[in-house]
Amino acid sequence: GQVVLPYIWRALGDRSPPAVVLNGGCAMQLHAAVQWPKAAVTFLLIGGQDNFRGGMTPEEYVADTKSRVPVGNSTTAILFVNEMIHMPQANLLAAVLPPMLKTLAAWQTSGSARVPQAELKAVLAAVAQSRCWSGRLLYTQAAGSWQDIPFGPSSAIASSQHSQRVAALGGA
């Protein structure tokens, strides 16, 4: 994610193939700027227990990851799992990888014309089924516009706290 994918993006630009990125290396502050194509179809799986998070809080880590996606991109999703370590646990990856790949295929077919809602719901269903994962699914609805859906046992609390923060900032 932090070496090969930026190379592919630099070489192929908007013609790059869809990519699942484990632990979000392409979305880190690297020694060289990553040229993330506007039309890149990308699904990142990042973890709350990952050493790539550094000293950032989970909220800061997700915000930093989102900030690396070009504003004009409308084909990116991020699955943030609080309990995930640097490399995803086998049962987590087995649950989410198939619907993540289907999401990428649907996005590649439709481009930015259609958000693959059914496929994204399948990703949420996969993490919800085990009842041991919590976090957020974020995806671009349109260029620069993100949907943010909490999931897991603590999602009701997280959703309430997120709404309170947005309201305190004057948002809707």
Residue-wise pLDDT tens digits, 73-107:
999 999 999 998 888 888 999 999 999 999 999 99
User: Which residue in this structure is represented by tokens 């957020």?
Assistant: 136
142: tokens are: 């349109």
Low-confidence ranges of the chain (pLDDT < 70): 1-3, 24-34, 154-172
Task: Tell me how far apart the alpha carbons of residues 132 and 128 are, in angstroms, rounded to a whole number.
Answer: 8
Torsion of CA 83, 28, 63, 110, to 10 degrees: -90
CB atoms within 10 A of CB 147: 14
What's residue 52's pLDDT?
76
CA separation for the pair 40, 142 (Å, rounded): 13
Give me the half-sphere count of Cα atoms (radius 13 Å) on the Cβ side of residue 107: 29
Tell me the whole-structure pTM to 2 decimals. Answer: 0.84
**For residue 68, which amino acid is it?**
R
